[in-house]
């Protein structure tokens, strides 16, 4: 009714309706701040923030039209024929859902025909960050060439390559709708610092650029190759990947940070899965929140002269223990080339290549 009255007043006075709505909402907010309870005020605040074109989830001023917190309808086309899903038959040798009801994605838990028919028409923009600092630039060609074959095929993808060696970035042929942006970063004498600093750079690049350009973001290690489909089945609000080294173990064997002095501390007796730092994904806003958290915790530790057991991966694991991911990728999505394939892992989609640490890391001594 109020909006009807606003329409009439706007017509009578010949005022542009959207400006009038905006003014009206701001007046209502002022009224609420003055007279209503905190709960009502908070709700109204959210609505006005939306009207003003900002996203309410974060203090950073992301534009509303680029805000990935809006969910979309899961529309499936009529006439699509596929194997009927069963409620009785499915994977039996792996767990496919967490105790908080997030799916764990394994081969056999999704039908790519249905997934693609739902997500491809959404015309999503996918940001993919990859750091290639120092000698790690040599991994880029394989990473990009195999990504073009398997990673989010038919989606709009922009690779954000963070490097101190721009001139060594290989020219790889990309499919239409896929692009590269190079982001210059300083080098470092410590591999631990390079790995950790990714969080800060992801945070600031989301604030300055990616937040305006993408719906979803993937943050991936570069010393890797894609071997099989990695598609829209991996999209969700906050996505983590089970580390291939620990999925058969219980949490007392995880390399969590166990020193209470570190901000990454996880007390004995607590834990879900051990997540790999090599793949983090989700809505841009949610990954921004995670990256900002890890960056702040890394800084706090540095101020106290402590470095967590596995740098940013330790802080990531603490964050994900208390901020549960909405989807989990099985070790199919993060394998290691030196590990033999086993029965549970029916397909290896993405794997860390074997590397000579002394050769590629700046602060690892070469063996004589």
CA 356, 357, 361: angle at the middle one, nearest 5? 130
Shortest Cβ 164–ligand UD2 spacing (Å): 9
Q: Which residues of 13-41 are buried (b: 16+ CB within 10 A; e: fewer)?
A: eeeeeeebeeebbeeebeebeeeeeeeeb
Question: Coil, helix or strand for 193?
Answer: helix
CB-nearer residue toward ligand UD2: 48 or 220: 220
Structure tokens at 188: 């470092």
CB 273 within 8 A of CB 328: yes
Tell me the CA distances in angstroms from 94 to 104, 137, 354, one per residue in order. 9, 36, 27
Shortest Cβ 139–ligand UD2 spacing (Å): 7
CB-nearer residue toward ligand UD2: 29 or 199: 199
Residues near ligand UD2 (CB under 6 A) are: 131-134, 136, 191, 194-195, 221-223, 243, 276-278, 310-313, 334, 352, 361-362
CB-nearer residue toward ligand UD2: 132 or 281: 132
Burial class from Cβ neighbours inside 10 Å (0-12, 13-18, 19+) for residue 82 reads exposed
Catalytic residue among 313, 332, 344, 359: 313
Shortest Cβ 229–ligand UD2 spacing (Å): 20
* Nearest residue to ligand UD2, by Cβ distance, number only: 277
CB-nearer residue toward ligand UD2: 91 or 339: 339
Shortest Cβ 358–ligand UD2 spacing (Å): 12
Q: Which residues of 225-261 are buried (b: 16+ CB within 10 A; e: fewer)?
A: bbbbbbbbbbbbbbbbbbbbebbeeebeebebbeeee
Shortest Cβ 248–ligand UD2 spacing (Å): 16
Structure tokens at 35: 């007279």
CB-nearer residue toward ligand UD2: 44 or 194: 194
* Ramachandran region, residue 101 (left: φ > 0; alpha: ψ -120 to 50; beta: rest): left
Shortest Cβ 252–ligand UD2 spacing (Å): 20
In this structure, the number of other CB atoms found within 10 A of the CB of residue 100 comes to: 9
Structure tokens at 222: 């570069």
Active site residue 252: no
CB 303 within 8 A of CB 249: no
CA nearest 125: which of 284, 240, 239? 284
Structure tokens at 364: 């690892």
Shortest Cβ 77–ligand UD2 spacing (Å): 37
CB-nearer residue toward ligand UD2: 330 or 352: 352
* Ramachandran region, residue 282 (left: φ > 0; alpha: ψ -120 to 50; beta: rest): left
CA nearest 279: which of 148, 172, 147, 168? 147
Q: Is the dihedral of CA 33, 35, 36, 37 positive or negative?
A: positive
CB-nearer residue toward ligand UD2: 48 or 290: 290
Catalytic residue numbers? Answer: 313
């Amino acid at each position: 009714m109020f909006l009807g009255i606003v329409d009439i007043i706007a017509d009578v006075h010949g005022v542009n309706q959207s400006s009038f709505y905006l003014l009206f909402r701001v007046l209502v907010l002022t009224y609420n701040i003055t007279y209503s309870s905190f709960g009502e005020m908070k709700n109204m605040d959210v609505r006005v923030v939306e009207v003003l074109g900002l996203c309410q989830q974060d203090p950073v001023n992301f534009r509303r039209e680029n805000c990935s917190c809006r969910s979309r309808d899961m529309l499936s086309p009529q006439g699509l024929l596929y194997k009927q899903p069963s409620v009785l038959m499915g994977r039996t040798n792996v767990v496919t859902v967490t105790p908080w009801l997030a799916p764990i994605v394994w081969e056999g838990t999704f039908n790519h025909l249905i997934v693609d028919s739902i997500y491809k028409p959404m015309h999503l923009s996918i940001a993919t960050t990859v750091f290639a600092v120092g000698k790690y630039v040599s991994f880029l060609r394989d990473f990009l060439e195999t990504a073009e074959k398997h990673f989010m095929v038919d989606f709009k993808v922009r690779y954000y390559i963070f490097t101190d060696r721009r001139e060594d970035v290989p020219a790889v042929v990309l499919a239409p709708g896929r692009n590269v942006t190079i982001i210059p970063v300083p080098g470092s004498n410590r591999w631990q610092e390079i790995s950790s600093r990714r969080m800060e750079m992801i945070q600031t690049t989301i604030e300055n650029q990616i937040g305006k350009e993408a719906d979803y973001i993937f943050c991936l290690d570069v010393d890797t190759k894609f071997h099989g489909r990695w598609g829209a089945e991996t999209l969700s609000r906050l996505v983590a990947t089970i580390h291939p080294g620990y999925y058969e173990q219980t949490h007392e064997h995880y390399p969590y940070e166990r020193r209470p002095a570190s901000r990454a501390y996880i007390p004995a007796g607590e834990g879900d899965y051990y997540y790999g730092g090599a793949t983090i994904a989700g809505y841009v806003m949610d990954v921004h929140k995670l990256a900002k958290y890890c960056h702040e915790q890394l800084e706090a530790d540095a101020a106290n002269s402590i470095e967590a057991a596995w740098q940013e991966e330790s802080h990531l694991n603490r964050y994900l223990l208390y901020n549960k991911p909405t989807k989990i990728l099985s070790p199919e999505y993060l394998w290691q080339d030196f590990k033999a394939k086993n029965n549970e892992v029916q397909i290896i989609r993405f794997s860390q290549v074997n590397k000579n640490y002394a050769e590629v890391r700046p602060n690892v001594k070469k063996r004589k």
